[in-house]
Amino acid sequence: MKLRTILLIAWTGLAMSIAGCLPASAATRHIVLLYDERIELPGLSLLDNEIVRTLRSGSTEPIEVYREVMDLSRFDSDSYKTRLRDFLQAKYANKKIDVAVAILPPAFDFLMAYGDLIFPGTPIVFCGVDRAQLGNRALPPNARGVLIKREFAPTLELALRLHPATEGVVVVSGTSAFDARLRAKAQDEFRPYENRVSFTYLSELPLDQLLVKLSQLPSQNIVLFTTLFQDGIGQPFVTHEVVERISRTASVPVYGFVDQYIGRGIVGGSLYSTTAHGVETAKMVLRVLTGAVPSQEISEPVNSKVIFDWRQMLRWRISDRLLPYDAEIRFREPTAWQTYRWQISFAVAILLIQTALISGVLWKRRRRRHAEIESMNRMSELAHVNRFSTAGELTASIAHEINQPLAAILSNVEALQMMLKSPAPDLTEIQEIADTIWRDDMRASQVIEHLRSLLKKAPSERRRVDLNEIIRGAIELVSSQAVRRKVDLRSTIGPAPLPIMGDRIQLEQVIINLIVNAIDAMSDTPAREREITIFARRRDEFAEVMIADAGPGLPPDKLQEIFQPFFTTKGDGGMGMGLSIARTITEAHNGKIWAEHEAGGGAVFRIGLPLA
């Protein structure tokens, strides 16, 4: 039992020591915000949001906020204030309030009069009161405040800088006591500028007439709007709604002095910041809660910011280059780069990659094209050499073709000489002999010209030609060779032309190569069986040429290989380039050449060329 008691005492002591080391549970702080007007008004709404946000974010203890609205613009009488005092006294009689905050002068006056009765011993913090409103009044020991500093001259200076041609300034205000007090302060600040521009103060007109007058202002004017809670005939207004109507109607730019007006039509200015004032007020309340603020402390921070509305700058053609470097521009539409920075960067990267790939492909294509051109040039040179080689093989045939007309010319000249020695030459017969000599000479000339065309080195020239004429010319060149080699040339060429687009010399070279190859292939064939058939016809949209011989034919497994360079079946008698050149020329003409093996013996070569 004794041990049990000792353990119990020890445990209790330990628990108490641990509890002593732990922080006490945070107590909830209660704060009353007293407004002179409805907090749904834009300025008070901004102020309220900033005060509450700063209080809750800056406090380590829970904050409970109570809002009381006096609504003095609609209920302003001594009896109402007395009843309001009694109501608030009864409402908070059993509630400990840590700080009471008076917002704007009427609420400050109310707490100065009844604060000790409603919130006895409670610290009071006031805001929204300027130095003139505070005056020289004696503050109770529990009062502290954040003064508002309203300035009008900086906005005027900015406006004149942005509109250097300004001649007149129209100051718009209302007739309530608050309106009149602000107008008087603005007028005092504007006096140094009266030697630069003229000033017109509009406050005594009904709002409708005021709007009409503002809509007719000359272009060398600007409008400065202070407040308008009451117009010239005593009609009450919400000043934020009035500034919207004035900005829409005025024929010149409208400037203001409070940040709540931004977004409601004013261009901008050096604007008193309601939100900044709310932050300063909340900070003082937090310092009061911690006991860090001495009684009767008064602060007067400068809470003005240079703020402009981008939409109104566009409307009045104001360049942002004219604004101070620290100016804040609101409602500026973000650029495409600001909105889609990552998407644009990604697209540009893809575009650069694609450009690099395309450039690489084009470079490779250019190199390939250059190589193809070089290959075509080399092939053209090789084809030219091949034509010389073929012409060498056809020397005997060509000599025979030329010798025949020359022999005829010689015979006719001898006959002509004998006739001229006659005492009475027959002129008619002489004319016939002369005509014959001319025809034989033209025939020899054509053979030589044909040979020159075949042998000359000229760039490829595509034109409309008749394939039948090309075949006939080729047969004419090789006919003597065929006769000498005892080969029978049989051609089947229709009277209708086969028009194609091509180079006449190159295509004639293909036909000559195939005929000469066919003649060579039949060198071991009996003379009576040596026969070459040449056939030309139209087949669909192509002109087809067939050259068949009666030689030993081609092995089926060599039908594609024979078109490869340096492949030959002539042993030491050939270079193996004739068929390769023939295929290159044919394919350059968008055609096709192929070989077939005849079952009964012999080889067949076919050429297909697109018709023009």
Average pLDDT over residues 493-499: 85
pLDDT confidence band for 408 (50 / 70 / 90): low
Q: How far apart are CA 120 and CA 189, in angstroms?
A: 41
Q: Which range has the worst mean pLDDT, 317-326, 473-482, 507-516?
A: 473-482
402 has a pLDDT exceeding 70: no
75 has a pLDDT exceeding 90: no
Query: Are domains 26-149+274-301 and 463-612 of this chain identical in fold?
Result: no
* Position with higher pLDDT, 597 vs 284: 284
Q: How far apart are CA 551 and CA 553, in angstroms?
A: 5
Q: Residue 260 gets which letter from DSSP? A: G
Chain centroid to CA 485: how far?
A: 75
405 has a pLDDT exceeding 80: no
Q: What is the pLDDT of residues 329-385, one digit of tens each?
A: 999 888 777 778 888 888 899 999 999 999 989 998 888 888 777 766 666 655 555
* Sign of torsion over alpha carbons 521, 526, 527, 531: negative
Average pLDDT over residues 379-400: 56
Among 582, 578, 581, residue whose Cα is nearest residue 593: 582
Q: How far apart are CA 234 and CA 205, in angstroms?
A: 10
pLDDT confidence band for 513 (50 / 70 / 90): confident
439 has a pLDDT exceeding 50: yes
Average pLDDT over residues 553-564: 77
pLDDT for position 135: 85
Specify whether domain 26-149+274-301 bears CATH 3.40.50.2300.
yes
Q: pLDDT averaged over the chain?
A: 84
pLDDT for position 18: 46
Q: What's the token pair of residue 601?
A: 């013996």
**Are 564 and 580 a contacting pair, CB within 8 Å?**
yes
Q: Which range has the worst mean pLDDT, 20-29, 324-333, 541-550, 593-602?
A: 20-29
Q: Which range has the worst mean pLDDT, 113-117, 235-239, 349-353, 439-443?
A: 439-443
Look at residue 223 and give its three-state secondary structure.
strand
Count the helices and strands in the chain (H runs, E runs). 18, 20
pLDDT confidence band for 24 (50 / 70 / 90): very low
Q: How far apart are CA 405 and CA 441, in angstroms?
A: 7
pLDDT for position 540: 84
* Position with higher pLDDT, 380 vs 230: 230
Place of tokens 């309340």: 285
Q: How far apart are CA 359 and CA 355, in angstroms?
A: 6
* CATH, domain range 153-273+302-337: 3.40.50.2300
pLDDT for position 1: 46
For the chain, give the percent of residues with pLDDT over 90.
41
261 has a pLDDT exceeding 60: yes
pLDDT confidence band for 51 (50 / 70 / 90): very high
Find the helix packing angle between 341-393 and 427-455, rounded to 10°.
140
422 has a pLDDT exceeding 90: no
pLDDT for position 223: 97
127 has a pLDDT exceeding 80: yes
Assigned fold of 463-612 = Heat Shock Protein 90 (3.30.565)
pLDDT for position 379: 61
Contacts of 282 (CB under 8 A, 6+ apart): 50, 51, 52, 53, 54, 55, 58
Query: How many Å is the maximal CA-CA distance in the chain?
Result: 185
* Position with higher pLDDT, 230 vs 381: 230
**Are 266 and 254 a contacting pair, CB within 8 Å?**
yes
Phi, psi at residue 92, to the nearest 5°? Answer: -105, 15
Q: Which range has the worst mean pLDDT, 50-54, 90-94, 477-481, 532-536?
A: 477-481
Average pLDDT over residues 542-566: 81
pLDDT confidence band for 21 (50 / 70 / 90): very low
**Are 112 and 138 a contacting pair, CB within 8 Å?**
no
What's the CATH number of domain 394-457, 1.20.1740, 1.10.3470, 1.10.287, 1.10.1740? Answer: 1.10.287
Q: How far apart are CA 180 and CA 230, in angstroms?
A: 10
Average pLDDT over residues 572-598: 77
Q: Where are the domains of the chain?
A: 26-149+274-301, 153-273+302-337, 394-457, 463-612
Show the beta-strand stretches assigned E in 310-446. 328-330
β-bridge mates for residue 269, sequence order: 307
pLDDT confidence band for 573 (50 / 70 / 90): low
15 has a pLDDT exceeding 70: no
What is the spatial order of strands in the sheet that 304-309 belongs to?
A: 268-272, 304-309, 328-330
**Between β-strands 542-548 and 603-610, what pairing exists: parallel, antiparallel or unpaired?**
antiparallel
